[in-house]
Amino acid sequence: MNAYSIQKVGPQAAPLVQQLGTAVYHTTYQSILSGAQIDFMLQKNYTPEAIQQVMADGQEFYILTKPDRQPLGFIALQKKNKDTLRIEKLYLLAGSQGLGLGKKLIDFAVDHAKAQGFSVVELNVNRGNNAYHFYRKQGFEVIAEVDIPYYGYILDDYIMQRPIR
């Protein structure tokens, strides 16, 4: 597992993030969201320009790669406030799930939060997403259920937090 690496990337990596995000979005959300909503969300959030904009707004992107440098997924982190670091995105390609790599990304986020002096790591997860169970196993607890209006759609999420000890 040590041979996998997590590297921070900048705006030049936006096309790679787009490619990974698009692949994961289709496999993750096809049973949760309509095709029209998936297409809309990808167009709204996963163009290189949209990715570069959230980077400029403070999201830090980290790519997880295999020893041969093949990218398998990514995580995006952003400061919410002085106490809370948010995981804004965490996506792994379907063939990379179940190998402990999601836990590796969560541990990375927690270590990053500790090093930066945060006391909580927070994320949102769609209430229909099986990743909810994974996050529970990683020590996250639901603090709220939210229905977020989003351009004519409703994002029905759990807000989950994990305290940093």
CATH number at residue 37: 3.40.630.30
In a domain, 127, yes or no: no
20-49 confidence digits (pLDDT tens)? 999 999 898 988 999 999 999 999 999 999
In a domain, 78, yes or no: yes
46-78 confidence digits (pLDDT tens)? 999 999 999 999 999 999 999 899 999 999 999
pLDDT band at 2 (very low <50, low <70, confident <90, very high): low
pLDDT band at 147 (very low <50, low <70, confident <90, very high): very high
State which residues form the domain around 58: 5-122
In a domain, 57, yes or no: yes
Q: Give the chain's domain count.
A: 1
pLDDT band at 3 (very low <50, low <70, confident <90, very high): confident
Mean pLDDT of the chain: 95
46 Cβ partners below 8 Å, 6+ apart?
17, 18, 21, 22, 25
In a domain, 139, yes or no: no
Helix axes 14-29, 48-56, angle to 10 degrees: 110
In a domain, 16, yes or no: yes
Is the confidence at residue 150, as pLDDT, over 70? Answer: yes
Query: Which tokens in the block code for residue 162?
Result: 């994990």
Question: Bridge-partner residues for 53, per DSSP?
Answer: none
Percentage with pLDDT > 70 across the chain: 99
